[in-house]
Amino acid sequence: MEKIRLNIVALTHSVTQSHNYAVVLEEETGRRRLPIVIGGFEAQAIAVAMEEMVPSRPLTHDLFKNALDTFSVSLVEVIINNLVDGVFHARLICELNGDIYEIDSRTSDAIAMAVRCDCPIYTYEFIMATAGVDVDEEDTLVEKAPEEDQPRKKKPSFRDMSLADLNTELDRVISKEDYEKAAIIRDEINRRKQMED
């Protein structure tokens, strides 16, 4: 079966399930996107790796990657290989001494590992045909609420802080493993740096 390579293009709140998130994958050579609903902790695990944050202690996915590295196991690729009753299934394709091993995984965990190990994510045509959405229909995939509808509790206070204070606060929230707040602070720091350039 021919594999279709996917790239992560968004990690956002889910439209269909209010307390969950959606990771949106897009086929590398096409226009279809594959939205996958995941939980808050799983979204945080993916976001931490995408933002290249370094937690004070290893998260579960970091621990698993460290174990793979320690025993010289390479994560070659991740395959979203099935869709059963609306639930995606995935496999980690690992290599050890030239032998290939397949490990069953939740899709959110597989994506979190792929980001950490910088390996490709694939799926199959039957999954894209069943659950993929054309890019023109993207607004049905993820929440795109107007800016005035977004929560405004945290960001304005960070905008009032100096860059030095932001960096201090970033260190503080990372030490408390509050990665959601850390991502907001990191965005504000990056926004300021772009304004200086």
* pLDDT score recorded for residue 147: 35
Shared domain check, 156 and 122: no
Long-range contacts of 187-190 (CB under 8 A, 24+ apart): 188/155, 188/158, 188/159, 189/163
pTM: 0.68
pLDDT given at position 126: 94
* Same domain assignment for residues 29 and 121: yes
Confidence at residue 105, expressed as pLDDT on a 0 to 100 scale:
96
pLDDT confidence bin for 93, thresholds 50/70/90: very high
Same domain? 25 vs 104? yes
**Are 22 and 105 contained in the same domain?**
yes
In this structure, how many other beta carbons lie within 10 angstroms of the beta carbon of residue 128? Answer: 20
Task: State residue 157's pLDDT score.
Answer: 62
Residue 143: is its pLDDT beyond 60?
no
Amino acid at 177: E
From 99, 122, 140, give the residue that closes a domain: 140
What would the mean pLDDT of 76-87 be, rounded to a whole number? 94
Comparing 60-74, 76-90, 99-113, 126-140, which segment has the lowest mean pLDDT? 126-140
Q: Does 151 share its domain with 118?
A: no
Q: How many CB atoms lie within 10 A of CB 62?
A: 18
Reported as a single tens digit per residue, the pLDDT across 2-34 is 899 999 998 887 665 666 888 999 999 888 999
Q: Are residues 160 and 89 in the same domain?
A: no
Which residue would you say has higher pLDDT here, 47 or 195? 47
In the chain, the amino acid numbered 185 is I
Residue where a domain terminates, one of 140, 169, 184: 140
Among 98, 117, 140, residue at a domain's last position? 140
- What residues make up the domain containing 25? 3-140
Q: How many structural domains is the chain composed of?
A: 2
**CA-to-CA dists, residue 192 to 139, 162, 169, angstroms:** 29, 10, 15
Q: What is the pLDDT of residue 194?
A: 74
91 and 44 in a common domain = yes
32-46 tens-digit pLDDT: 999 998 988 888 889
